[in-house]
């Protein structure tokens, strides 16, 4: 099953294109409007990552919000891979606050927390308010709820890769039940034959 990405990345490969270095400090950063999760119904998160261009090693973490509600975040912060690489968390490395999956078609905010000066990839010079930031070190404990933040002008390359979740009951279960029904042997009155 193919992983589909959403965020600031290519939806198929997840590889960013045409990005530059965005300079951040000890803060959290996010796109104000958020991004729509692809697909429909429940979507398993396969990976959640941020792309860094260059700079010094820095501790980072990521979180997912629906509006201002914290949905999931990295259980532990990581030292960013800073040489044009993704620093990523798998589903098993996430702590879920609400549910255990995302919902296709729902808009989510992907939030980067940096413990100190950081150089993630992205786009700069956008209209004020396109993105937001909030000062402070949230790499250990994410903000909850997401604060209003201060208007900013860059979009950081953060991606979330998802795959459709298996349908808990669905057609397979119905088929199994039908098969089991067909295996039942009907009962008939028994005739007693003479010796």
Tens-place pLDDT, residues 80-129: 977 788 999 999 999 999 999 999 999 999 999 999 988 888 899 999 99
Contact 31, 22 (CB under 8 A): no
Tens-place pLDDT, residues 15-26: 777 788 888 899
| Domain ranges across the chain | 4-169
Alpha-carbon span 161 to 191, nearest angstrom: 66
Alpha-carbon span 94 to 129, nearest angstrom: 29
Q: What is the mean pLDDT of the chain?
A: 84
pLDDT (0 to 100) of residue 191:
43
pLDDT (0 to 100) of residue 155:
93
């Amino acid at each position: 099953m193919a992983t589909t990405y959403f965020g600031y990345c290519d939806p198929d490969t997840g590889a960013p294109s045409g990005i530059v270095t965005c300079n951040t400090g000890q803060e959290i950063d996010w796109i104000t409007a958020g991004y729509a999760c692809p697909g429909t119904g429940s979507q398993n998160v396969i990976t959640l990552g941020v792309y860094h261009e260059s700079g010094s090693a820095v501790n980072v973490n990521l979180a997912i919000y629906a509006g201002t509600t914290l949905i999931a975040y990295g259980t532990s912060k990581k030292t960013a891979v800073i040489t044009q690489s993704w620093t990523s968390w798998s589903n098993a490395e996430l702590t879920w606050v609400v549910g255990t999956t995302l919902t296709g078609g729902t808009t989510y905010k992907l939030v980067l927390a940096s413990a100190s000066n950081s150089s993630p990839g992205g786009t700069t010079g956008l209209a004020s308010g396109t993105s937001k930031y909030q000062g402070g070190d949230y790499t250990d404990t994410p903000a909850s709820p997401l604060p209003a933040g201060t208007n900013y002008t860059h979009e950081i390359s953060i991606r979330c890769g998802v795959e459709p979740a298996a349908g808990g009951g669905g057609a397979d279960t119905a088929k199994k039940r039908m098969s089991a029904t067909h295996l039942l042997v009907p009962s008939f009155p028994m005739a007693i034959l003479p010796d």
